[in-house]
Every structure is written in C-alpha cells, then in structure tokens.
Amino acid sequence: MTRRDVEFDAEGTTLRGWFYPAEGATSSAPVIVMAHGFSAVKEMHLDDYAAAFSAAGLNALVFDNRNFGASDGEPRQEIDPIAQVRDYRHAITYAIGLPEVDRSKVGVWGSSYSGGHALVLGAIDRRVGAVVSQVPLTSGYENIRALVRADFIGGFREQFDADREARGRGEAPAMVPVVDKDPLAPSALPTPDSYQWFTETHENRAPSWRNEVTLRTVEMLFEYEPGSYISRISPTPLLMLVAENDVLTPTELALAAYENAREPKKLVILPGGHFDAYVKGFQHSMVPARDWFLEHLAR
C-alpha cells in the first residue's frame, strides 16, 4: 500500500489529505471518503482505518477538515458543521474523478462529529452508496445539555452574543480549549476521556493538533441536529457503531436516533467508551465498517 498526498478545491479553499489506492485492484474500485471529528486531524488514527480499507480492496480518501491540520481555511480552528458536510461532498466529487475509483461506488465514513456528518450525507447526497457512522453526534442541543450543567448554559449564551458583537467590530474570534484536565473548567469537550485521548494522541501522533477552537464553534455545535436527517438515509444502507459506555456522545442519544432510521440498517455495539474505538477497540470498529462497505459496494 502506497498512499499519496492529495489536494482538491472546495469552492476556493484548498483541502489536503491522503489517497490510499485499493490493494490488488486490477480495475476501478469503490472509494471510502473519510474525515475526522471535532477538531481532530487525520493523523489521529484515520490512517489506520484507511490502510485497513485499502488492504481489503477499497480506495480511501482521507482529508483534513477546512481550518484544521494541512487544509486551508479561515478562521483557523473554527468548526462549521454545514461547511464540513459540504466539504465531504467536494471530496466525493474529487474522488470520483480519480482513475482508480469506480464513480458509482462511494462510501462515507465518519466518527464522532463527522459521524453526524455521515448521517446528513447519506440523506442528501445520492452518490453515496453506503454509510458508516461511528460513535456519532446525533443532536448538538441534547449533547450539550448532557455535558454542561444547566446553570452554566445561560453564561455560554451571553458569551456567544458578546463574541458575535466583537467579531462584528472586526476583533479576533474568542477561543476556548477543546479539552481541559479539569472537567469543570471551560472547554468544548468536558470529559476526562476526551482530555486523555486528545493530549496523548497529540503527543504521540499528531503534533499539528491544537487545543483550541473558536467560541462560535461551540455555538454551531449547539445548533447542529444531524439525527434529524436519519430517517431520510434509506434506501442507502446505514451502519451505526455505538459505544456501550459513551459519555461524550451519549450512548442513549445514538440509540434513540438509530430507532428512527429505516431499513436497510445495522447496529453494532462497541465495547468501552467513545475513544476506545480508535485504539484498543480498533478491530471491533474497523472490521464491521470494512465488511459493510465490501457487502454494499464491492459486489
């Protein structure tokens, strides 16, 4: 397997990533389009998934979201979920133009925040032939209410309004840490497992990751409801991978969303918590995803 660096245009913004050609392919093969979740960059284990898909005879296109990692975009460290969904669609357009790719066989894979994007894409882009949504965000509103004390939420809204006015005056965006060692300190992802995974993965694999996002990122998270699209994915096949003890994108929210999906669909419960899927539970999350894509795209 020899991956190559790629870049493509997303309506004036250059996005960069890796293309993993399908191993053993003698003609065009399916492609899996992949991006990471909330603030994460592609070096944070997406290479492991892409390499596994490639070894199974699937092409894989992995890219950094706009404003993060190797991709361009301003303001840096700002996550606009609607723009990220649109960029997945630009990535699909780029991928199906590659000579190695069978343009009629496109899968999307997303995890955590981008797991929510995968749900939206499955509903709105009929070029997508199979969806894998891993430990997904399904409701920004309900997710924040599960993570943030009710008496803190009003303070967040005041900060959002003040930041909007400051940006209107031309001031720099307010920033907030992605994670903090103290789960009661202000951060976008206030859980101990978030702090551990991001800091360890940053140190060991992803020096380009930065522990900050714009405050408006949190406001847009509050407004994002990817689960509202889930009933519209059918007849595109949907696989949801839900961690049994997920406290970041709570298990019960993902399971409730899955109930609203229509056939064909499949649910796999992963052992452990939200971040176990990437490392010690990698085989538990990768194998069902790989097999789902092979079943629905490689025949």
**299 residues of the chain, pLDDT tens digit each:** 589 999 999 999 999 999 999 999 989 999 999 999 999 999 999 999 999 999 999 999 999 999 999 999 999 999 999 999 999 999 999 999 999 999 999 999 999 999 999 999 999 999 999 999 999 999 999 999 988 777 777 777 889 999 999 999 999 999 999 999 998 888 999 999 999 999 999 999 999 999 999 999 999 999 999 999 999 999 999 999 999 999 999 999 999 999 999 999 999 999 999 999 999 999 999 999 999 999 999 97
Sketch out the chain's domains with CATH numbers: 4-140+225-297 (3.40.50.1820)
Residue 225: predicted pLDDT? 98
Q: Check: CB of residue 233 under 8 Å from CB of residue 131.
A: yes
Q: List the structure tokens of 141.
A: 């509103």
> 29 - beta bridge partners?
101
Distance between CA atoms of residues 72 and 241, nearest Å:
30
Alpha helices in 129-214 (DSSP H): 140-147, 150-168, 192-204
Residue 1: predicted pLDDT? 59
Distance between CA atoms of residues 84 and 57, nearest Å:
27
pTM: 0.97
| CB burial string 70-109: b at 16+ within 10 A, e below | bbbbeeebbbbbebbbbbbbbbbbbbbeeeebbeebbbbb
For the CA atoms of 269, 255, 248, 218, the dihedral, rounded to the nearest 10 degrees, stands at 140
Residue 284 CA to chain centroid, in angstroms? 18
Residue 293: predicted pLDDT? 98
Residue 177: predicted pLDDT? 95
Amino acid at 180: D
